[in-house]
Structure 1
């Protein structure tokens, strides 16, 4: 048993190092006529190139633990020894994260598809290009070039004292640093819960404001509809009154119930056959009632 429990060091073997991470910044949802599936395929292509030179590929938004995604993105942008950024379609989030990485003045490789134009601020940096239609032969060449670029960039940044980053082309700058503080597991969990509560509170506040705006819009629409309905009824009432007056002047039914009923039917029929009046009618029963009341008001 003792012989089988010897450590790898005693056997002259060393524990292999875990591969270092290469951060990926890229679009992940549909944009610029490219579907979510398209970006998933692009991610797989970049990951293949990254892993071919011994790195582990991960989106900067990915992490093993649960936490606030914005904090995770910034931490990964700062910590990853190399980052590949796909600026295809010029996604705003991607451009913002690229700006942060360049502000940290750390090794960055920019790629783009052949349908995306260069941005003025980052055009001095070399861009590796791939076909948007992901043609096989071109993609094979792109993966080879990207893998070689990753390996060369990391090696140069770590071994060459004359390695020049993006910012150093323009002068001397005080590069931003992220302060890290050691905290206990309990303090970390409490702080994450507080941050989560603040985030939920902000969302609740936004939801409450949106609900208030929705209620205000609903109230305005109700008032508008009520006003339009009132105006419609006034116009319909005036036109019915005119039709009743015309019918009374021709028939004079007085108190004869049968004659009044016949007049009711005649006026309603004329109204329903009149395009102008019919456009004001929501409910035929409403017209019958209005005609009936108007005739009774005049006949007595």
Structure 2
């Protein structure tokens, strides 16, 4: 039976933030593709068992990450986009005085602010993030060479420690964690969770309030165009937010907000082909049009189109 392969834990950005989609050609799963197409193949070709980033599934994700950072033979650290979680994990690994192979894509290394000064003076490998087939063909062997060099030069130690002559290193001793320590952690996590829930509730309340204000504003705009005194009289027309506008013998679908903008811009009134329906026409405003609108029609002979009309109060 062959000896088990040494392990290499890959720490890197797990997701691709929206701010970087343009940089990576709108690839929302860019770093997943980097992991699958470049990092794992290179790690395995270098003779290691690849351990991908831990994103979910662990009972306590932080404990699992710390344990893996402690136990693995090598960490491959991708510093691309300067992800805070990645640098935290790099710090833990460094404190343990264990070997790390540093890499970053050329977009991060070549764009301000670049790789932080603290680690930029350590040998790190730059790769092309395009992931095209012809580029990957060359990138994988280059990364394999970098990993092998890091392992050979590290002598099972962390490069930063060797360069700066640090001698005291961190130790992971789970047995030292008392019941009281664990309860404190649980209480802290519970407090953070309650804080997050409260913040979410506040955001939901604010969004609901803003939505209510927006709806009131739409009712006022619609009432103004329909010459309705009471905005609540326009409520029924807000229930059907997609209207069909008769324009030159053509029916054009239009959202309520766009319809209101068009009517205001052209100084038109909205006339419904059928009261309460979503089929409307735009007609010229009548400066003497009444301020109260009714929607009654005759029952004996209904007209083809019901217009909003009323009589003015006698003076």
| Higher helix content, 1 or 2 | 1
Which of residues 54, 59, 66 is equivalent to 1:61?
54
How do 1:230-245 residues align onto structure 2 when only pairs under 5 Å count? 232=224
Pair 1:119-2:115 in alignment:
yes
Q: CA deviation at 1:50?
A: 1.3
Cα distance, 1:144–1:285 mapped onto 2, change above 3 Å: same
Pair 1:129-2:126 in alignment:
yes
Cα distance, 1:284–1:127 mapped onto 2, change above 3 Å: farther
How do 1:189-200 residues align onto structure 2 when only pairs under 5 Å count? none
Q: CA deviation at 1:111?
A: 1.7
How do 1:55-204 residues align onto structure 2 when only pairs under 5 Å count? 55-61=48-54, 66-116=58-108, 117=110, 118-121=114-117, 122-136=119-133, 138-158=135-155, 165-170=159-164, 172=166, 174-181=168-175, 201=194, 204=197
Q: How many correspondences in the alignment? A: 242
Cα distance, 1:217–1:199 mapped onto 2, change above 3 Å: same
SS, match of residue 104 in structure 2: strand
How do 1:31-50 residues align onto structure 2 when only pairs under 5 Å count? 31=20, 32-34=23-25, 35-44=27-36, 45-50=38-43
Q: Distance in 1 between matches of 2:65 and 2:169?
A: 18
Q: Which residue of 2 aligns with 1:22?
A: 8
Q: Which runs of 5+ in 2 are unaligned?
A: 178-182, 230-281, 297-306
Cα distance, 1:283–1:106 mapped onto 2, change above 3 Å: farther
Q: CA deviation at 1:126?
A: 1.6
Q: Which residue of 2 aligns with 1:210?
A: 203
Q: Residues 6-52 of structure 1, C-alpha deviation per residue, up to 9 Å, x if partnerless?
A: xxxxxxxxx54332320112234333325245433321322122112
Q: CA deviation at 1:133?
A: 2.5
Q: Distance in 2 between matches of 1:38 and 1:282?
A: 59
Q: Which runs of 5+ in 1 are unaligned?
A: 1-14, 184-189, 238-271
Q: CA deviation at 1:61?
A: 0.9
Q: CA deviation at 1:67?
A: 1.6
SS, match of residue 41 in structure 2: helix
Task: Give yes or no for contact 1:60–1:76 (8 Å, CA) kept in 2.
Answer: no
Q: CA deviation at 1:96?
A: 4.2
Q: Distance in 1 between matches of 2:289 and 2:46?
A: 75
Task: Give yes or no for contact 1:60–1:72 (8 Å, CA) kept in 2.
Answer: no
TM-score for both structures, normalised by structure 2 = 0.56
